[in-house]
Amino acid sequence: MAVDANIVLLPGDGIGPEIIEQGQLVLEAVAKRFGHSFQFTSCPMGGNAIDSHGTPLPDETLAACRNADAILLGAVGGPKWDDPNAKTRPEAGLLSLRKELKLFANLRPIKPYKQLIDASPLKREIIEGTDILFLRELTGGIYFGDSGVKPHASGEEAYSMMVYNTEEVARIVRLAAKAAQLRSGRVTSVDKANVLEVSRLWRRVAAQVMADEFPDIEYDVVLVDAMAMHLISRPRDFDVVVTGNMFGDILTDEGSMLPGSLGMLPSASLGESGPGLYEPIHGSAPDIAGKGIANPLATILAAAMALHHSLGLTEEAAVIDAAVEAVLDAGHRTADIAAGGNSLSTEQMGAAVLEVLG
């Protein structure tokens, strides 16, 4: 069945525009091959939007995103907008977008490519076979709780509140369990229930949802500090890992180091309905921006996730994933994964994927 889809591109800052270009080319190739029709709209977001519109998330960008079927983001931020005293920052655009579109679930698969396994900082025998799907809660917790500063005898006192309610926990745990049903059938919930009241609620609700709705899914809980250890010492032991916004921010970034190839990892941010937001997990890499050497593969894999999760095009997504495997098998590498060997430019790597896609 031919699909007609409206895809918003948010190239962002730094290397963003370079990698998004390749993502778009891949999506166009897939559309052509499978007879779909994708319309692309490119919008300012992040630092570039601060420069052009005075705000990291202009109203028109938000409106375009609301009307999209899927959103493909490059990366935002850079030293130019890093002044701590600035009125607004590129990241604020991303946080607003997540909140406005109710993208409460961030999905991050961590699965090393066998072709790149030697790039891992971990020993082969530790990392080989790792296949984790992180689900990070993305619109609640300490990121969006009440916060403030007030005078204090010693100067100032500041606070940020970590808050969760039953529904917020239940819906992300439910999504984790559903994801586990399609995988090895195991869910690990990560909290700090031995110290935090908010984690005790998280643990109660998670246990209830799992027991009531997913009795067949293997379920356990791990403390966040212990999880930070296990991720390094026995990453293979986990399947689906679900956790809150702050813990997820830290643990998914820790996890992103395991494959040793940050430039290969995509992520998806999903809501109950409406468009999903897809992006590479790496940053805007200002140091190599404009040089044409950034690795476009994470963005291309993010585009595949968009086809899968937002457009229901699972076969098309699988074809992109396979094309990426094929270019790696063929020995193609960008500088970040070349281990000092020959490397392709951003465009050449994109072209290599396009060639496989036919």
Ligand X SMILES: CC(C)[C@H](C(=O)O)[C@@H](O)C(=O)O
Beta bridge partners of 71: 8, 277
Please tell me the count of residues contacting a copy of itself according to CB under 8 A. Answer: 65
Beta bridge partners of 107: 135, 268
325 binds, among ligand X, a copy of itself, none (CB under 5 to 8 A by kind): none
| DSSP string of 36-101, one letter each residue | -EEEEEE---SHHHHHHHSSSS-HHHHHHHHT-SEEEEEE---GGG--TTSS--HHHHHHHHHHHT
Assign 3-class secondary structure to 206-270.
HHHHHHHHCCCCEEEEEEHHHHHHHHHHCHHHCCEEEECHHHHHHHHHHHHCCCCCHHHCEEEEE
* Token pair listed for 350: 């994109």
Q: Does 195 bind ligand X (CB under 6 A)?
A: yes
DSSP designation for 142: G
287: annotated binding-site residue?
Answer: yes
Q: Which residues are catalytic?
A: 143, 192, 225, 249, 253
Q: Does 164 bind a copy of itself (CB under 8 A)?
A: yes
Please state the closest distance from residue 228 (CB atom) to ligand X, in A: 10
Q: Does 105 bind a copy of itself (CB under 8 A)?
A: no
212: annotated binding-site residue?
Answer: no
94 binds, among ligand X, a copy of itself, none (CB under 5 to 8 A by kind): ligand X
**Which one among 28, 128, 131, 254 touches a copy of itself, defined by CB under 8 A?**
254
Q: Does 314 bind ligand X (CB under 6 A)?
A: no
Sheet holding 218-223, edge to edge: 37-42, 4-12, 70-75, 276-280, 266-270, 105-110, 132-137, 240-243, 186-191, 218-223
156 binds, among ligand X, a copy of itself, none (CB under 5 to 8 A by kind): a copy of itself
Residues 6+ apart with CB under 8 A from 147: 158, 159, 160, 161
- Closest C-alpha among 83, 88, 66, 90 to residue 11: 90
**CA dihedral (112, 302, 316, 295) positive or negative:** negative
Residue type, 221: V
203: annotated binding-site residue?
Answer: no
Stretch that binds a copy of itself, among 3-11, 210-218, 250-258, 331-339 (CB under 8 A): 250-258
Q: Does 95 bind ligand X (CB under 6 A)?
A: yes
131: annotated binding-site residue?
Answer: no
* Gyration radius of the chain's alpha carbons: 20
237: annotated binding-site residue?
Answer: no
Please state the closest distance from residue 226 (CB atom) to ligand X, in A: 8
Q: Does 131 bind a copy of itself (CB under 8 A)?
A: no
Binding mask 242-271 for ligand X (x = CB under 6 A): -------x----------------------
Q: Does 181 bind ligand X (CB under 6 A)?
A: no
> Residue 55 and residue 46: Cα distance in Å, rounded?
8
Please state the closest distance from residue 254 (CB atom) to a copy of itself, in A: 4
> Residue 15 and residue 293: Cα distance in Å, rounded?
9
**Which one among 201, 297, 303, 323 touches a copy of itself, defined by CB under 8 A?**
201
Please state the closest distance from residue 74 (CB atom) to a copy of itself, in A: 18
Q: Do 191 and 221 contact (CB within 8 A), yes or no?
A: yes
288: annotated binding-site residue?
Answer: yes
Q: Which residues ranging from 257 to 286 are in contact with a copy of itself (CB under 8 A)?
A: 257-258
- Closest C-alpha among 247, 163, 169 to residue 203: 169
Please state the closest distance from residue 57 (CB atom) to a copy of itself, in A: 15
Q: Which residues ranging from 204 to 243 are in contact with ligand X (CB under 6 A)?
A: 225
Q: Does 159 bind a copy of itself (CB under 8 A)?
A: yes
Applying CB under 6 A, which residues contact ligand X? 91, 94-95, 194-195, 225, 249
Applying CB under 8 A, which residues contact a copy of itself? 84, 89, 91, 95, 121-123, 126, 142-143, 145, 147-149, 152-168, 170, 192-205, 224-226, 228-229, 231-233, 246-247, 249-254, 256-258
